[in-house]
Structure 1
Amino acid sequence: MCSQRRKSRRRTAAGAELELNGSPPSSPRAPGTAGGYGLHFAQLILVLASGAPAAAIAQEPGREGPARIAVESAPRPTAAALRTDAPPTVDGRLDEPVWQQAQPLTGFVQSRPDTGAPATENTVVYFVYDDRALYIGAICHDSEPDRYFISSLKQDFNSGSSDVFGVALDTYLDRRNGFMFLVNPGGALKDVQLFDDSRSENQAWEGPIRVETARHDEGWTVEIEIPFSTLRFNPSEEDQTWGLQILRRIRRKAEDTFWAPLDRRDQIHKMSKAGTLTGFRGVGPGLNLRVKPYALAQDQTGTLIDEGRAGTQADIGFDVKYGVTPGLTLDLTYNTDFAQVEVDQEQVNLTRFPLFFPEKRDFFVENSGTFAFGDQSERSYRTGVSLRDFTLFHSRRIGLTGRGEPIPILGGARLTGRTGGFEVGLMNLQTRSGRGLPAENFSVMRARRSVFGTSDVGAIFINREATGSDIGGHPDFNRNVGFDANLRPLPSLLFAPFLAWTDSPDTDGNTLAGRMWVGWRDELWDVSALWRHVGEDFNPTVGFVRRRDIRQSYATVGLHPRPPVPGVQEVNPYIEIDHIQDLESVLVTRRRTAGFGISFLNGSGLSVDYTDRFELLREPFRVSSDGTLPIGRYNFGSGSVQYRSAPGRALTGFVRVERGGFFDGTLTSLSGGLMWRPNHHLSVDVSANHNDISLPDGEFTADVFGGRVDYGFSTKVFASAFVQYNAAEDQFVTNVRFNYLYSPLSDIFLVYTERRDLDAGMTVERVFAAKVSKSIGF
């Protein structure tokens, strides 16, 4: 912070005037923000032909803008937190003397839109602590203080479409894992647990964090209180050193700036490129015990409700979280209930393979990155696969049927964290019998060890076993073993192999699955290749496998040049080739894709692609009740265009149009969505997916429509209504929720869910639930 300081008046969020000590902002305009989006295609062609990297382009003579640094080679900054016996009052004001005594952190550098250039608005950050908590204060100067954008007041808001101040802490200094706290000017908090150096994150993680903000004539300020009992670190070290990254996002400028400089392809949770925070001495997590009981009352009717669950019922249960050691956390749950969880979104399935539905239940989402094993997407890489294709552990197989219907969970335990150089995860849950399934026990054991800095190797074991007197005396189990690695011999080079087996009483065939994936991603190139094998009898019943009996070969080459074209952030031409054979080396699927994307400076994007496909059908494929595809070989192709508008505006949206062949017919697909946010309290979101298919034996449509209204009365009280219509099933789904966060981690939920079969003219499911939980810390 500048040594010369001045007084200015400011307004809090409630409108009161306060005194602010702060340096005047330095606010040159973001380069390239004027001039619209007229594309100089001759320049684009020259850039693509030359293959010039972004760093070279940034230094071209005549290019306007401030001096830039090379963010990849820039030194990582270091700062020190200040210990205090007079902690600040968390009110968003930063007017206590302790803030003036702390070290100011400034000098933020852009990652977007002008990589390596100084921030266009000044940000000053302070860190202080006492025996109990870490306190973070920030002054976010803004030359146009009335033009900040707040996407929502709800917890875990959409940070990509909002002004944001954010901090990521690597508390073990392993340069891989950590915690992230994002705050918008309205005081909404998004707290996230980070894994594997930006590979995965757990947005369901929550801590008793206190946040207050205030808006004023020079921008806005934020204060955050993070109890040490919320974090995980090694208190046996008298002097703590943590990894630190700080983000400031100015949405109207599409500007992201960082304290430790980053390239635009990296995010705040890229902990291997973070700075360092020192100064912690003699701190510990305390007892670290939290108990959260709940009480539930609900009324259920409809044909989808089991007879034993119909009518009005009441129940109680609880969760316990205990820090067994500084590195290990034990979670216990009894009579687990998920009545407050939002219903699944309807999907259109025009393939002959099962659909993947994501996990939404908090108990399973928390620490989910610890148990992840399979086709994980690599951030910034084009991999051709994801966990929607292959995951050895998919927690939706616990306590839910294949149709998403709940099965009672009696209770369970989970131990996660770090010990002896290992990241470990142990889980055991017991379900009751229901919906034609016996009572079952589920066990998962996961371990990973960091090697060679940011690389790791790991193993996983999963067991599912029927229990109780209703299994008929016959053994019924499914066991899975897997080994994986993530190896980064060079900063841009990554290897990610895995190998897995499954075992069941009635299976003795090919139960092996494995892959080798290698990728290179730097400022210009995105290149990767994959080989994958899945045996015909490979059957992880607590996992998800989209296709079996295959050998897959995939490769892609793409470029990400950053041309000096007005309004353009970067362009991305690429090609992909994907071949899938059965285990007898017969080609069953082939996809060859050429695509081109443009990212604009304001955050919007345009993409076009064309895919040439081959499919071998060995049995008839019933697309719908109106159309069936016969056995045969099919060659066809289709193209698509998609545009996504810039976030951070009152009205945003996207539209995608696809047209082309569909086996021996044609497909026209139109999907899109609009979100209207007139203020930070209200958002209205509508979406549509229309598919018009013509086959030799008939024509049919497959449509899904949805609408959502969210209203945040404050950062503690929220209401939402979500409706969906699935034309293929002729069902209308309604989900209405009210949530009052009356104290940290303590909620009151009122939830109404209804599913109507319009063709039959009847309600097949109607549930009204009231749930109260209270988090008690010790």
Structure 2
Amino acid sequence: MFRKIPLLLCGLLITVTVLAQKKNESYQLQIRKAVSPVKIDGVIDEAAWIQADVANSFYMVLPMDTSMARLRTDVRMTYDDKNLYLVVENYTTGKGPYMVESLRRDFAFLKNDNFLLFMDPFDDQTNGFSFGANAAGAQWDGLMYDGGKVDLSWDNKWVSVVKNYPDKWIFEAAIPFKTIRYKKGITKWGINFSRNDLKTTEKSAWAPVPRQFPTASLAYTGNLVWDAAPPEAGANVSLIPYLLGGIAKDYEKGNSEKYRRDAGLDAKIAVTSSLNLDLTVNPDFSQVDVDKQVTNLDRFELFYPEKRQFFLENGDQMSNFGYATIRPFFSRRIGLGGVPIRFGARLSGKLNKDWRLGIMNMQTGKQEETGLPAQNFTVAALQRRVFSRSNVGFIFINKESINYDPGKITDMPAYNKYNRNIGLEYNLASSNNFWTGKAMFLKSYTPGKSGHDVAHAANLQYTSKVWNVSWQHEYVGRNYNAEVGYVPRQGYVKIIPQVTRLFFPLSGQVLSHGPQVTSTWFFDEKDLHRTDNETMLNYGIVFRKRNTLNIWVSNTYIQLLQPFDPTNSHKDSLANGSRHNWNTVGVDYVSKPQSLFTYALSARYGGYYADGTRLMTNTELGYRFQPHVSVALSANYNQIDLPKPWGNTSFWLVGPRLDVTMTNTLFFTGFMQYNGQQKNMNLNTRFQWRYKPASDLFIVYTDNYLPEPFYVKNRALVLKLVYWFNI
């Protein structure tokens, strides 16, 4: 019965969908070929701009979505044989500087005065591209997926300029057709423009978007109507070689300095205007940001997000298959922990308006220190659009060990010759975005494991202006095995109902407020007895200045399924099967983003395992000397009181960070982390010079210390040069 619900809902919502699309169908911007050359300088004096149509009369999205925007925004677009051009006049009101974080690209949307373009060149209301800038000129670009999410890891060649005037700031950009993908011959693209202004706390959009959804929602775009089909991008091949030199020393092992001299190559080949082939040989990711450490008091493996661009770019079809804790594919399993990646290839993109394809193959080398063999990873994903914005997806994952000989591996957990997964999922997304959901089935194949080797899950969510109601259930068999995925727990059944109700005062400092109830239940798959349960009541308040306050209480019950050290300090472990129950109260506050000084405060106090207590406080402080310097400090403190042998345990996690953006092409980042739980201090600094579009010079220095007594563990210095050129 449950599996029929999404299909029935889709059918019921088709009428609503058509009406929603007809409403925004009237928002059309005509784009004509430029009658003169366009110079990207922030000055609107070319004949091409004077004759271009203007998109204005924006609608307010926040704080309310029932009126026109107070601030005027004028948008013009044109094109020539090579580029798509955009110029935007962002009018302002009142005195005072623009509010921006820095000149660093891919800024946080809510912390900057900015303008963003969202476009759907496939007209499928699901995938697309986003470009934009903040008022200081920092660029924003990303791939759009799932109908309204933006992957900011995507980085490509385009140019822009921001120029400030007393009453407005102008954003002008040229986006090469070779940079984006689009359906050949299509003359109508979905498009929307979004404006965020912190002084007035107004967020607006050209085509109206209900306030409960992001302005990136492709369900609510208007139309960009071309006077002729966009020109074909032609031969589109990019080569991105790198050269690297470095030195590293491991003081713990007493090794001498180790010098690095390396080179590698990435290539991007446009197979069609909407399908791309990416190749990589000997890739290196030394310039990627280090992981932000967290206090680990969890019984299961923690999740750290992927940050390597090769795996992130256009990778949502593979990496987002499944749920947050049931991911059959997690790219961080490939090439980390000292395992070198030799080469790889990925074919991804749109086959046509309805079909989307993603195929990736990666080959790693042998890990010399442990003897782990070379391995090959293959992932294939195929997606078919159904109804207006929903889709059905298939995935296949294969991990194969090369020259498999487990007898040569010592002091390591057993590894398998192969591990395979196949999966199907249905993603529901109504055209007006009120109904969303997913149904999924996975099966694994591992030598020596059969039976109870499947996982399935489903969820359904309804989102209106005042209600958010969702239901999710999961099942993971005890023998389900995803060695290239992220599935931290097996052998359970899980259900999660959630209800949120919002109220909107007509005046006053509060914009919205309301309660939320969430209850999470885990049951053992064998006899369905309860093993975990957490019920939380939260009351949230959003103020008109965009500061937020949440107050919550919760009740937690846990029956341990294996021995567990509640402090992760290796003192002792609680017994398997022991039962624990406690209550907790908490509060979270985030300050308004308009201030130069921003902060976020969190605190929780309550019971803990073995009739103990836990106090946790978390502080995030930030100050910006805009637009060039941003200073941040995060501090997390835990105090745990338990009976002997643990007693009183307390530890800090502190992370100061310095971001200096000298220009929008010259950046410096310094980041330190002190982790009292792991007794480690980490320092990471990175200098980046973007000397040409998408071409960079990186200088990266890392250091790890033992804080007590102060002792250097290891340190490394790397210089990396990347150059992007088109053939």
- Structure 2 residue identity aligned to 1:429: M
Aligned to 1:564, which of 502, 506, 509? 506
- Structure 1 residue identity aligned to 2:711: M
Residue in 1 aligned with 2:560?
A: 617
- Structure 1 residue identity aligned to 2:195: R
Residue in 2 aligned with 1:175?
A: 125
Residue in 1 aligned with 2:422?
A: 481
Cα contact 2:24–2:222 (8 A) shared by 1 = no
CA deviation after TM superposition for structure 1 residue 72, in Å: 11
- Superposed CA offset, 1:112-165 (max 9, x none): 012121111111110010111110011111123643212110111222200001
Residue in 2 aligned with 1:395?
A: 331
Residue in 2 aligned with 1:121?
A: 71
CA deviation after TM superposition for structure 1 residue 760, in Å: 5.7
Cα contact 2:252–2:713 (8 A) shared by 1 = yes
Residue in 2 aligned with 1:286?
A: 234
Task: Give the 3-state SS of the residue equivalent to 2:663 in structure 1.
Answer: coil
1:522-541 map, 5 Å: 522-541=464-483
Cα contact 2:404–2:417 (8 A) shared by 1 = no
- Structure 2 residue identity aligned to 1:629: L
1:680 aligns with 2:637: no
Aligned to 2:520, which of 578, 587, 594? 578
Q: Distance in 2 between matches of 1:406 and 1:216?
A: 51
- Superposed CA offset, 1:678-706 (max 9, x none): 22100000001101001111110132110
Residue in 2 aligned with 1:657?
A: 603
CA deviation after TM superposition for structure 1 residue 368, in Å: 2.1
Task: Give the 3-state SS of the residue equivalent to 1:230 in structure 2.
Answer: coil
Cα contact 2:694–2:724 (8 A) shared by 1 = yes
* Count of matched residue pairs: 690
Q: Distance in 1 between matches of 2:583 and 2:498?
A: 19
Q: Distance in 2 between matches of 1:224 and 1:757?
A: 48
What 5-or-longer segments of structure 2 have no aligned partner? 1-19, 409-414
Q: 1:472 to 1:350 in 2, by over 3 A?
A: closer
Q: Distance in 2 between matches of 1:254 and 1:625?
A: 49
CA deviation after TM superposition for structure 1 residue 710, in Å: 0.3
- Structure 2 residue identity aligned to 1:398: I
1:591-630 map, 5 Å: 591-623=534-566, 624-626=569-571, 628-630=573-575
* Worse-matched range after superposition: 160-169 or 697-706: 697-706
Q: Distance in 2 between matches of 1:113 and 1:332?
A: 45
Aligned to 1:296, which of 239, 244, 269? 244
- Superposed CA offset, 1:600-636 (max 9, x none): 1111100011111110024331122346434411111
- Structure 1 residue identity aligned to 2:604: E
- Structure 1 residue identity aligned to 2:333: R
Cα contact 2:219–2:431 (8 A) shared by 1 = no
Residue in 2 aligned with 1:453?
A: 388
Cα contact 1:590–1:614 (8 A) shared by 2 = yes
Q: 1:73 to 1:98 in 2, by over 3 A?
A: closer
1:297-376 map, 5 Å: 297-302=245-250, 311-376=258-323
- Structure 2 residue identity aligned to 1:532: E
Q: Distance in 2 between matches of 1:527 and 1:475?
A: 42
CA deviation after TM superposition for structure 1 residue 526, in Å: 0.6
- Structure 1 residue identity aligned to 2:29: A
Residue in 2 aligned with 1:508?
A: 450
- Superposed CA offset, 1:725-771 (max 9, x none): 00011110000000000001100000000111224643222110000
Task: Give the 3-state SS of the residue equivalent to 1:396 in structure 2.
Answer: helix
1:428 aligns with 2:376: no
Cα contact 2:468–2:501 (8 A) shared by 1 = yes
Q: 1:727 to 1:72 in 2, by over 3 A?
A: farther
1:549 aligns with 2:498: no
Residue in 1 aligned with 2:695?
A: 746
Residue in 2 aligned with 1:154?
A: 104
Q: TM-score, normalised by structure 1?
A: 0.86
Residue in 2 aligned with 1:106?
A: 56
Residue in 1 aligned with 2:10?
A: none
What 5-or-longer segments of structure 1 have no aligned partner? 1-69, 377-386
1:169-318 map, 5 Å: 169-198=119-148, 200-235=149-184, 237=185, 240-282=187-229, 283-302=231-250, 311-318=258-265
Q: Distance in 2 between matches of 1:399 and 1:622?
A: 30
Residue in 2 aligned with 1:52?
A: none
Q: Distance in 1 between matches of 2:46 and 2:321?
A: 50
CA deviation after TM superposition for structure 1 residue 449, in Å: 0.7
Q: Distance in 2 between matches of 1:530 and 1:141?
A: 44
Task: Give the 3-state SS of the residue equivalent to 1:99 in structure 2.
Answer: helix
1:725 aligns with 2:674: yes
CA deviation after TM superposition for structure 1 residue 572, in Å: 2.7
CA deviation after TM superposition for structure 1 residue 201, in Å: 2.8
Cα contact 2:669–2:686 (8 A) shared by 1 = yes
Percent of residue pairs bearing the same amino acid type: 30
Task: Give the 3-state SS of the residue equivalent to 2:48 in structure 1.
Answer: helix
Cα contact 2:536–2:552 (8 A) shared by 1 = yes
Q: Distance in 2 between matches of 1:559 and 1:304?
A: 55
Residue in 1 aligned with 2:34?
A: 84
Aligned to 2:351, which of 410, 414, 419? 419
Q: Distance in 1 between matches of 2:227 and 2:251?
A: 59
Task: Give the 3-state SS of the residue equivalent to 1:622 in structure 2.
Answer: coil
Q: Distance in 2 between matches of 1:316 and 1:305?
A: 27
Q: 1:769 to 1:561 in 2, by over 3 A?
A: same
* Worse-matched range after superposition: 277-286 or 324-333: 277-286
* Worse-matched range after superposition: 419-428 or 717-726: 419-428
CA deviation after TM superposition for structure 1 residue 289, in Å: 0.9
Q: 1:74 to 1:304 in 2, by over 3 A?
A: farther
- Superposed CA offset, 1:626-683 (max 9, x none): 4643441111110110100011321001000100011221010000110100221000
Cα contact 1:245–1:274 (8 A) shared by 2 = yes
CA deviation after TM superposition for structure 1 residue 495, in Å: 2.9
Q: Distance in 2 between matches of 1:489 and 1:361?
A: 32
Q: Distance in 2 between matches of 1:565 and 1:323?
A: 53
CA deviation after TM superposition for structure 1 residue 556, in Å: 1.0
- Structure 2 residue identity aligned to 1:175: Q
- Superposed CA offset, 1:289-319 (max 9, x none): 1100000001111157897x96112011010
Q: Distance in 2 between matches of 1:98 and 1:615?
A: 67
Q: Distance in 2 between matches of 1:85 and 1:321?
A: 32
Cα contact 1:429–1:443 (8 A) shared by 2 = yes
- Structure 2 residue identity aligned to 1:223: E
Task: Give the 3-state SS of the residue equivalent to 1:281 in structure 2.
Answer: coil
Q: Distance in 2 between matches of 1:761 and 1:119?
A: 57
Residue in 1 aligned with 2:15?
A: none
Task: Give the 3-state SS of the residue equivalent to 1:94 in structure 2.
Answer: coil
- Structure 2 residue identity aligned to 1:526: N
Q: Give the superposed CA RMSD.
A: 2.0
Q: Distance in 2 between matches of 1:288 and 1:303?
A: 47
Q: Distance in 2 between matches of 1:761 and 1:685?
A: 24
Task: Give the 3-state SS of the residue equivalent to 2:565 in structure 1.
Answer: strand
Task: Give the 3-state SS of the residue equivalent to 1:81 in structure 2.
Answer: strand
Task: Give the 3-state SS of the residue equivalent to 2:460 in structure 1.
Answer: strand
Task: Give the 3-state SS of the residue equivalent to 2:282 in structure 1.
Answer: strand
CA deviation after TM superposition for structure 1 residue 76, in Å: 4.6
Task: Give the 3-state SS of the residue equivalent to 1:457 in structure 2.
Answer: strand
Cα contact 1:438–1:471 (8 A) shared by 2 = no
- Structure 2 residue identity aligned to 1:299: I
Task: Give the 3-state SS of the residue equivalent to 2:178 in structure 1.
Answer: helix
- Structure 2 residue identity aligned to 1:325: T
CA deviation after TM superposition for structure 1 residue 280, in Å: 4.7
Cα contact 1:193–1:367 (8 A) shared by 2 = yes
